[in-house]
Amino acid sequence: MSDNRPAILTGFHFTKTTLGAFSEGYDIVGHMDKPDLALIPPGVADRVQALVTTGSVGATDKLMAAFPRLSLICCYGTGYERMDLEAARRRNIMITHGADANAPDVAEMAVGLVLATHRRIVRADKMIRRGEWTKRIPNRFGSISGLTGAKFGILGLGAIGLEIARRMKGFDVEIGYCNRNKRDDVDFPYFADVMDLAKWSDILMVVLRSDASNRHIINAEVLKALGPRGHLVNISRGWAVDEAALAHALRNNIIEGAALDVFDEEPYEGTELLDIDNLVMTPHFGGGTEHAQRRMTASVRANLDNHFAGKPVATPVPELREWAKSADAPKPKA
């Protein structure tokens, strides 16, 4: 039975439920922990027709070249930042992503991280666990302004950004945003440049589309513009933030606090962020709810099913949408 089904290789540790959903229609021939040619399971390279992975893991030109029958790469989730789109076009390989499948869930996480950093929730929890709450001390963690009336800047007002804005309205914050283009369906103040948004914001939420043009868009200059009472939250992709610049800004009171759910390299194996008290870190699980997992799994299945049935994929990455609809779109390779 399996020999007659399209063969897929996984590049991410999916749950048993997700793997079960994939294996209903496809032959899972192996797994790779990293996009390293040395990790390709023996004897499967010539069989692999689709790669199911994540954007933070990615796929290089050399990896694509190792699979002569590869015609589809499905990114589980929104991101696709480490996918070599030029190589995919040249090698006639379609790339899809989860589009907006996890937007509500990531927005929930974003609000939680705002509260965690701005209200010092994690630092206060650690203080009690260390036995340091021996008397009441006002402003133990510095003056806390609270969210009411704060200027909340959103860098990237796409589907997730809109979900965050909808939730943050309940905190009576003033919302502004920076986008590639001004939206005509919101009345929030628009800033054409990230520096202008940072100067305006008390809290800067990074919700950017994960492509190479956004690498280290949050740099030392932007952090300085955010200012000594400012907070940064990143729930998009790690490489949007210069982690060395962020560490320096937090250690030297250039900004007040930050929260990260994503990192430049994942899992995070660095050390420069680990001992910074005014930084909250979570292991890239903004979309880690049962609801999001079901939606993202369904999205991958829809893309696999469409592709191998000779139909246009459901959610190609934005740069490949026109190609996906054309007669020249990649087809399964014999």
Residues that are catalytic = 237, 266, 284
Q: Which residues contact 219 (CB under 8 A, 6 or more apart)?
A: 242, 245
SS3 labels along 147-182 = CCCCEEEEECCCHHHHHHHHHHHHHCCEEEEECCCC
Half-sphere exposure of 51 (CA within 13 A, CB side): 33
Half-sphere exposure of 59 (CA within 13 A, CB side): 34
Beta-ladder partners of 75: 53
The conformational region for residue 92 under phi > 0 = left, psi -120 to 50 = alpha, else beta, is left
Q: Which residues contact 150 (CB under 8 A, 6 or more apart)?
A: 118, 171, 173, 174, 202, 203
Measured in degrees and rounded to the nearest 5, phi and psi for residue 322 equal -65, -40
Half-sphere exposure of 188 (CA within 13 A, CB side): 30
Measured distance CA(221)–CA(88) in Å, rounded = 35
Nearest CA to 225 among 253, 263, 197, 245? 197
For residue 190, what is the enclosing H or E element?
strand 190-191
3-state SS assignment for residue 83: strand
How many other C-beta atoms lie within 10 A of the C-beta of residue 278?
20
